[in-house]
């Protein structure tokens, strides 16, 4: 089975940069509706211990769409148009660069009912930061988004580059965040290696499985052009798109 390889994911999810207890969120991809190999990876117990999300209810045909927004590459307005047209909720994890550079898009995300989540101010390896530095990174995004949108609460965090440790998960949880990883993704982030919308469509659709949290990057031209078809095909297969807030509510029930 082919390993899912991502710039933020090591080929084997053990340690990052030789540091014990520091992980990249990596796994074998879902095939034919089966779950990816997250249960088999060495980090699952740490992730679940601290309440991080990476799957929804695997007995239900539900999907959770998330985007990482490190910077704007001209595609987010079209992504938002598609989500509005298809009535699909999403979560956008934004950095400080994005907040400063694209305030109107941040406002639009919130106004159209999407979740604006935290992707840190400067996209560092958070396992290298002290707790106080972590807090500063996250507080700056939260405060600036609040100024733009009036959104006083920011509940969700995606650790930059998918690098984490138990200390990172514990410290961010103490700050009120639920860490959000994923169970569907592909190499979509390289703007110089886009392979066409059909490729994006195929890479996402072939990984769909019940309870999937989908990670896409908004800098991808392929993702943007394929998004409507992805939504339509998932719906044709009987999947329903839900928000992370709905997932959290079901976790608490």
Closest to 61 measured CA to CA, from 245, 202, 178, 233: 233
Closest to 25 measured CA to CA, from 178, 184, 199: 184
- Residues written for the chain: 253
What does R_g of the chain's alpha carbons equal in angstroms? Answer: 17
- How far apart, in whole angstroms, are the C-alpha atoms of residue 250 and residue 253? 5
- Please return the burial class of 34, using the count of CB atoms within 10 Å of its CB with bins 0-12, 13-18 and 19+: exposed
Q: Any catalytic annotation for residue 209?
A: no
Straight-line distance from the first to the last Cα atom of the chain, in angstroms, rounded to the nearest whole number: 36
**58 Cβ partners below 8 Å, 6+ apart?**
35, 209, 210, 211
CA dihedral 209, 241, 159, 225 (to 10 degrees): 90
3 state SS of 128: helix
Q: Any catalytic annotation for residue 217?
A: yes
Task: Cite the DSSP H helix spans in 63-130.
Answer: 76-86, 96-101, 103-111
Catalytic residue among 68, 125, 188, 222: 68
3 state SS of 140: helix
- How far apart, in whole angstroms, are the C-alpha atoms of residue 110 and residue 145? 9
Catalytic residue among 24, 50, 123, 217: 217
Positions marked active-site: 68, 217
């Amino acid at each position: 089975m082919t390993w899912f390889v991502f710039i933020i994911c090591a080929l084997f999810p053990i340690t990052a940069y030789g540091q014990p207890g520091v992980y990249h969120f990596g796994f074998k991809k879902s095939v034919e509706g089966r779950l990816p190999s997250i249960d088999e990876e060495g980090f699952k117990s740490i992730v679940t211990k601290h309440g991080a999300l990476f799957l929804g209810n695997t007995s239900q045909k539900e999907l959770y769409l998330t985007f990482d927004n490190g910077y704007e590459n001209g595609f987010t307005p079209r992504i938002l148009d598609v989500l509005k047209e298809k009535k699909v909720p999403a979560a956008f994890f934004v950095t400080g660069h994005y907040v400063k550079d694209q305030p109107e898009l941040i406002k639009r995300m919130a106004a159209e009912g999407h979740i604006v989540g935290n992707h840190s101010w400067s996209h560092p390896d958070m396992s290298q930061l002290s707790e106080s530095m972590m807090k500063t990174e996250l507080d700056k995004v939260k405060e600036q988004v609040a100024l733009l949108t009036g959104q006083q609460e920011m509940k969700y965090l995606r650790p930059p580059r998918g690098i984490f440790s138990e200390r990172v998960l514990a410290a961010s949880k103490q700050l009120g965040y639920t860490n959000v990883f994923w169970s569907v993704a592909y190499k979509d982030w390289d703007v110089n290696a886009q392979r066409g919308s059909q490729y994006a469509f195929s890479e996402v659709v072939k990984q769909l499985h019940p309870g999937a949290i989908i990670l896409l990057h908004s800098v991808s031209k392929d993702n943007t052009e394929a998004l409507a078809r992805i939504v339509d095909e998932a719906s044709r297969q009987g999947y329903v798109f839900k928000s992370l807030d709905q997932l959290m509510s079901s976790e608490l029930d």
